[in-house]
Structure 1
Amino acid sequence: MTRRRLLVALFFAALVLYGAVGYWLQVRHGFILGDALSRVMAAQSVLFSRDPHLAAIGFIFTPLTAMVQIPFLTLSPIWPEIAERAFSGTLMSALFMAGAVVQIAGMGLDRGLPRCYTLAITAAFALNPMIVFYGANGMSEAPFIFFMSWAVRRLIMWMVDDDVHHLVTAGGIAMGLAYLTRYDAVACIAAAGVLVGVTTYRRATPSPRIRRALLDVLLVSGPGLATFLGWAAISWLITGEAFAQFTSQYGNTAILEQSGASAPSFGGGLLFALACITLLAPTLVPIAMWGVARRWDTPNWQVMLVPLGIYGAALAFQAYSYASGSTFPFLRFYIIAIPLTACLAMLAVPDGVLVEARRRGRYAPPRVETQPPGRRAWPAYAPVALLFAVTVPVTAWGMGMPRYAPQEYALGAVLSPDPDNVTERKALEHRIAATFSTERTIADYLDSLDLPDSSVITDTVYGFAVVAASEDPNMFVIPSDDDFTERLNDPAAGGIRYLLAVPNEGRGVSDALNLRYPTLYETGADIATLELEIPNDGDSQPDWRLYRVNEPAVTD
C-alpha cells in the first residue's frame, strides 16, 4: 500500500471509530459534557436564533470548534439530535482526531521507520481511551491535538532539511488555528519562536545571523501573534472585553469564584499536574531519555527538542495555570502528553530513509545516508513500542479516579451499568451520566406549548442545554440577541411570556436574570408567577423554576 493510501485508510478508520463511539455515548446514552453542548448551542445561534449573526458564537471560548459545526447544524431541522445530543460536536472532534492519527503516523513515515512499528505506535495512540473519548465527545481537545501535532511534525522536518515551507505551514496555518481552538496555544507559539530563532541563529553562519533568525521567528510565530491580537481586538470591539475568558462573568475566573473552589498551593498544584501527566503518559520520561541518548551528538539531534519544546509548553502552561489557581483540576487538560509520548516514540528508534525534501534549505545539517531497517532490526524497536503500549491500560485506570478525572470516571455508568449498586460512587456516576436530561424535558415541555417567537427569556449560563434541545430556538431570547437587555428590563412589554430561573447562588449569581431581579427564583420578583418547579437529575445542575410573566396592570 502506498504512503498516501495508508494515511487515507487510517483517517477514515479513525473517523468511523470516533464517530461511532460519539453516537453511542451521546445520541444513544445522552452522555454529554457541558462545554461540548455549550459550543453546539453557540453554533446553532449563528443559524437559528432570533437574531442570527456570526458574533452569536460568543467570545468566552475561542471560535474554531463551534464554527466547524455550523455546516453540520444545518441538518438540525430534519435531525434534531444533531443539536440536542451534541452530535455535531462529535462530527467535529472525530474529524480532527482522525487527522491527529494521520499526523502521528506521518511522523513515522517521514523518517522511514518500519511500517509495522509505525502502525503499532499509531494504533496505541488512536486507541488510547482518552484519545477515543475526546475524539468522540465534541470538546476542544481533538482539534488542539491535531493542530499541535501538525505543527510539531512540520517543525521536525524543518530541523532536518531547513525547508521554509515547513515553517509557513507550522506557524502560518497550524499554530494560528490552534490558538483559535485553545488558549494554551499561546505558550506553544512562544516556544516555537524561541526554538526556531535559536536554531536558525546557530546555523546561519557567519552572517546575517540575526536578520535570518528574526525572519524565521516571524514566519513561525508571527501568524499566531496576529491571531492572538486579532481575536482580542474583535472581542473588545463587540463585547468591550478583550479577554472575556478571564474577565467576563461567564469566564473561568468567575466560575472558579462562583463555585467556591479553593485554590491549591502552588506546589500542590504542580504535583497534581505531574500526577495527571503520569497517568496519561507513564513512560514519557524513559522514552524521552532513550531518544535523547540515541540521538545525542548526531547531525539532527535537535529534532528531539521540537516535541519536548512545543508539546511541553502546553503542559507547562496548564500546570502553571492550575497551580496559580486560574483553571480546573481536570485530567483532560494534560491530554497533550499522549501525542508527546507517541512522537518521542517515533524519534527514539533508528531512522530509515528520510522523506525527500521539496526544497532543501541553505542551512540544513548534513544529510545522513541510512538504509531501510532490515527484518532483524526488531530488537531496536520492540522495547519502545511496548513502553508506549503501557499508556493504554494505565490511562484507562486513571480515567476511573474521581480525584484526577472528575469528567471521565462517570463513563462507568455507561460502560458498566449496575442499577442495583447503591454505593455513593455509583450514584454519582449515574447523576453525571444523566446531566442535561432535565433540560431536554424542559425543552420538550416548552415546545409542546407552541409558543410564538421571543416568548421565553433565559441566560445561557445554564440555559444553553434547554435552547440546544428545543425544536424551536426562535422562542428563546438569549444574551447574544441585541434586544436581550431591553426585553429583560420589561418582560411584559417585550412580549416575554416565561422566564427560566435558576437559584441565585453558585454560578447562578452570574445569570443575567438574577442580576436584574435578585429575588426572581424565590418570589418571582413581583413580575411573574411560578408555573413549574423542575428538580434536576444531573450532577451539579440547578433545580429550575419556570415563571409566567404577569399581565401588565390595566389603569383607567
Structure 2
Amino acid sequence: MGLGGSDRRLKVTIFFVCLVVYIGVGYWLQVRQGYLMGDTLSRVASTQAVLFSRDPHLAALGFIFTPVAAMVQIPAVLLSPVFPDLAGRALSGSLMSGLFMSGAVVQIFSMGADRGLPRGYSLTITALFALNPMIVFYGSNGMSEAPFIFFMTWAVRRLIKWMVDDDVHHLVTAGGVAMGLAYLTRYDALASVGAAGLVVGLTTYLRARSAPRVHRAVMDVLIVSGPGILAFLGWAAAGWLITGEAFAQFTSQYGNAAIMEQSGAAAPTAVEAVSFSAVCIMFLAPTLLPLALWVLMRRWGRPNWQMMVVPLAVFGAVLAFQALSYAQGSTFGFLRFFIIAIPMAATLALLGVPDGVMARSKRPGKWATVTDPAPERASVTTYVAVAATFAVGIPVTVFGMSQPDYAPQEYALAAVLAPDPDGVSERAATEQRIARTFATERRIAEYLQTLDLPDSSVITDTVYGFGVIAASDRPKVFVIPSDPDFTELLNDPAANGVRYLLAVPPTGRGTADALNLRYPTLYDTGAEVATLELEIPNDGDGQPDWRLYRVSEPSDPE
C-alpha cells in the first residue's frame, strides 16, 4: 500500500511538472512570440463559434475535424471575454494540449510502474519521452497530437496489462474509452481500433483451448473494437444528418482532399511515399527498429511475451495508416503525422528490460498469469544501453525538425528560438514569415473593432477568416458559414444590413471560399455589390492578401 501511494504521488508530481512546462512553452510561443499553428487557431475559432457567434450551437464545431480537441476547450474559451489571449492567441489550445500530453507522460511512466521496473529506469525513459522536442512542441501548441498520443498510450498500457491478467476491465477501458475517444480526436485511430481487435481476438482464441473459442474471441473483439467502430459510425451519421456529408474531411470543399487539389499538390509515387514515411519515422524514432528487434529477442517464448505484440500492432497500425494515406495523396507530408513513433519507441524501451514484480489486478480473468516468473537478473549495463538507445532520438529529432522538406510546420521554430534579424537568406525570410503568420489577421480584427460595427456587419468565410474571428473581441460582428442565415445574407448583403465583405483571392484554397463561389469577381472588382475600402497585404506564410469591401447601398448604382 505504501509503494502504491508513493507511485500515485509520483504520478501526480510528474503530471503537474509536465503541465507547467508545456503550458509555459505554449504561453511563450503563442502569446509572447505570436507563433501560432493554423489548425490550433481554427479549432479555437470553431469553439468560439459554439459560444459567442451570432447563432451559438454545438454543431458550429464543424465536421472537418473530429470534435474532442475543440470540444474540451469550451470551458477555457468561455473565459476569453475576460482573458482575450485564450482565444486571440489560442492559449486555450495550449491548456488543452498541455493537459493531454502531461497525461500521456504519466501513462508512459505507468507502463514501467505496472511491471515493477526500477523506478530510476522508468523515470529516465519517461523524462526522455517528455523532453523530446516534438513532444514538448505538440504538448504546448494546441494541436490534436497531444490528446491522440494520450488516448493511444492509455489504450496500449491497458492492453499490455490485459495480456498479463486477463481483466476484462482493461479491454473496456482500452476500447470503450481510450480508442473510442482517440478516433474522435484523429481519424488515424481507426487503424488502431482494427489492430487491437485483431490482437485481442487472436489472443483470446489461442488461450481458449476448448469451445466456444470463436464466441469468446468475438465477444472480446466487440468489447475492445466495438466502441471505436460505433464512434466512427456515429460521427459519420451526425455529419450526414447536419451537413449532408458523412465524411466531410474527405468530401467537403474544406477537407484535406479538397485543400490538396486546390493547392495543386500531386500524389507521390509509391517509392516517394515509402521513402518519405521512412525518413519521418527515422527522424522521430531513429532506433525504433533496433528497439523492436531487441524486444523480440528478449521476450519471444518467455513468460508474458505477448505484451510486446500490443505496441507493435497498435502503434504500428497508425504509422502504416499514415504512410498509406500519404501514398494515396489524401493527406499532407507532415512530420507530425508520424509522431506516434515516439511513444512507440518509449514503450519498446520499457519492454526491453526484464520485468519486476507486476502490479496485480483485483479482478483477474480466467487466463491471468497466476504467479510472477522468477525475476531475471539484469546488469546496469542493460538498462543504460536500452535507455541510451532510446535517447538517441532527441538529437536526431532536433535535426529532423529543422528540415523544411519533412518538417514544414516545425522548422521555422528557429526564427523564435535563435532569431537572426539580419538574416538575408531565402530560408531565413521564410522562417520569419512563418513566425509572423496570423499577425495580419490580428491587425484586421483590431481595425474592424475600431469601426464600432453592430452585429452581423461583416461576412467572411472561415477558410481563411478564422484567424480574424479568433482575434476579435466581438465575434458576433461576423457572419460565418455555420450561421443558419449565412446564405441568405450573402445573397443580398445590402438588404440585410451587412456593411463589409472580407475577401481573399480566388486562387488555391480561396477557390473554396463561399464569397468567391457566390461572387466570382468579388476580389478583383467588387462584383457590383461592394466598393474596395482597404487592401491588406499579408506578411504571414501561406496566407492571402486581404481586401475589405464596403457593401454598396441598395440605391447605389455600384
Shorter chain as normaliser: what TM range? over 0.9
Match of 1:463 in 2: 465
Match of 1:175 in 2: 179
Match of 2:167 in 1: 163
Question: Which of 520, 524, 529 is the aligned partner of 2:531?
Answer: 529
3-state SS, counterpart of residue 260 of structure 1? coil
Alignment of 1:370-519 (within 5 A): 370-371=374-375, 377-519=379-521
Match of 1:242 in 2: 246
Shift of 1:367: 3.4
Match of 1:5 in 2: 9
1:159-210 deviation line (CA, Å, top 9, x unaligned): 0111000000000000000011000000000111111000000001111100
3-state SS, counterpart of residue 263 of structure 1? coil
- The answer on whether the counterparts of 1:269 and 1:319 sit within 8 Å (CA) in structure 2 is yes
AA aligned opposite 1:10: I
1-structure distance, mates of 2:556, 2:146: 57
Shift of 1:74: 1.2
2-structure distance, mates of 1:469, 1:368: 57
AA aligned opposite 2:324: Y
1:284-312 deviation line (CA, Å, top 9, x unaligned): 01111111100011131111110000000
3-state SS, counterpart of residue 439 of structure 1? helix
- The answer on whether the counterparts of 1:171 and 1:223 sit within 8 Å (CA) in structure 2 is yes
AA aligned opposite 2:555: A
2-structure distance, mates of 1:200, 1:351: 23
Match of 1:75 in 2: 79
Alignment of 1:202-213 (within 5 A): 202-213=206-217
3-state SS, counterpart of residue 547 of structure 2? strand
- The answer on whether the counterparts of 2:357 and 2:372 sit within 8 Å (CA) in structure 1 is no
3-state SS, counterpart of residue 532 of structure 2? strand
2-structure distance, mates of 1:98, 1:251: 30
Match of 1:267 in 2: 271
Shift of 1:368: 3.0
1-structure distance, mates of 2:217, 2:271: 37
Match of 1:129 in 2: 133
1-structure distance, mates of 2:426, 2:271: 31
Shift of 1:378: 1.3
3-state SS, counterpart of residue 139 of structure 2? helix
Alignment of 1:33-432 (within 5 A): 33-365=37-369, 367-371=371-375, 377-432=379-434
1-structure distance, mates of 2:130, 2:556: 66
AA aligned opposite 2:531: T
AA aligned opposite 1:471: D
Name the Cα RMSD after superposition.
1.1
Shift of 1:366: 5.0
3-state SS, counterpart of residue 550 of structure 2? strand
AA aligned opposite 1:476: F
Aligned residues: 553
2-structure distance, mates of 1:542, 1:379: 56
1-structure distance, mates of 2:338, 2:82: 38
AA aligned opposite 1:327: T
Change in CA separation of 1:554 and 1:11 when aligned onto 2, cut-off 3 Å = closer
AA aligned opposite 1:418: D
Q: Percent identity?
A: 69
1-structure distance, mates of 2:467, 2:342: 31
AA aligned opposite 1:17: V
- The answer on whether the counterparts of 2:303 and 2:373 sit within 8 Å (CA) in structure 1 is no
- The answer on whether the counterparts of 1:350 and 1:380 sit within 8 Å (CA) in structure 2 is no
Shift of 1:267: 1.8
Match of 1:540 in 2: 542
2-structure distance, mates of 1:465, 1:265: 34
AA aligned opposite 1:328: F
Shift of 1:350: 0.5
3-state SS, counterpart of residue 381 of structure 1? helix
Q: TM-score, normalised by structure 2?
A: 0.98
